[in-house]
Amino acid sequence: MKNITLESELKIGSEVSAALDSGTPVIALESNVIAHGLPFPQNLETLVQMENAIRSAGAVPATIAVLDGKILVGLEASQIHYFATTPGLAKVSSRDLPIVLATKESAVTTVAASLVAAELAGIKFFASAGLGGVHRAAGSTFDISSDLIQIARSNVIAVTAGVKKILDIGLTLEFLETHCIPCVTYQFDDFPAFYVRSSGFKSPCRMDSLLEISEAIDIHRTIGKGGFIVAAPIDEVDAIDEAVVEAAIVDASAQATRENVYGKGLTKFVMRSVNKATAGKSDAANAAVLISNARLAAELAVIHSARATNPSLTSIDRRIT
């Protein structure tokens, strides 16, 4: 029987491999946003800007996808273009990875699958826009994103803008507490909701210093296990009015019920409907927060790396605006 090995199933790009060998911070990125999150060419332009933001902060980007049954960690430009322009690509979560690897398929990765790949590759930080969570009708559908389960399992730091506004955010926060997942917001009192700055729920914990967050991450890894969420709100200039988004979500959710849309297709259906209702503003906000989160993750990873060699550092933190 063939055993899975890093050499046979996980292909790490040359830039990422060199960074890992040298101790340069690396930021993992999902590829679902390329194929399903944003339309072409906005998807391609956004990913390029995310990768550039990470490099400008002193880290290395590692966009993750599956190509012909191999997990790629750190896509080359031609591969990014392929995933951005090829229609019909499946999106895979962590539970789907064994199947697509065994059948030699190509697919884009969700947050959950990207966390698995990041941990296999030895990457400590991951950046995205909004996590999946507990869906609003979960009381009857039991629809809870595997993102949450995988965060609890993976020793990777997730830097996001909270969770998607389309979810039941109160129940999502309860789920995070139940599964002992530390969750802090950076320089903000409320828990953010993707392209809306505040979800209406207070954050479990506010922290104003990346140095302090880095220290909390180290302590968590010492006394516990699993992931750690750092949430930062979208910039005010890019945010969308909460009332407008909520009305669009309610309408889209009702339409999804009428058309029997559920499971993997539900999030994309609702988000496409919201974008139409906001005349493209939600896609623009999605792109903006993806870029800002990538930059913040890189800033945190660079500080975390510096602390590893000099634990007494006190002067390299700065406010991210």
Which sequence positions are flagged as catalytic?
Answer: 30, 164
β-strand 70-73 against 10-12: which pairing, if any?
Answer: parallel
CA atoms within 13 A on the CB side of 193: 23
CA distances for 225 relative to 114, 115, 118, 179, angstroms:
18, 14, 16, 11
Contact of 232 with 159, CB cutoff 8 Å: yes
- Alpha carbons 27 and 157: distance in angstroms, whole number: 10
Side chain identity at residue 189, one-letter code: D
Can you tell me whether residue 302 is helix, strand or coil?
helix
- Alpha carbons 86 and 251: distance in angstroms, whole number: 30
Contact of 158 with 151, CB cutoff 8 Å: yes
Side chain identity at residue 76, one-letter code: E
Contact of 242 with 196, CB cutoff 8 Å: yes
- Alpha carbons 18 and 223: distance in angstroms, whole number: 30
As given in the structure block, the two tokens for residue 100 are 């697509």
* Residue keyed to tokens 């990875």: 97
- Alpha carbons 90 and 107: distance in angstroms, whole number: 5
- Alpha carbons 211 and 142: distance in angstroms, whole number: 38
Beta strands in the chain (DSSP E): 10-12, 26-29, 60-67, 70-73, 90-92, 107-109, 125-127, 157-160, 183-186, 206-207, 228-231
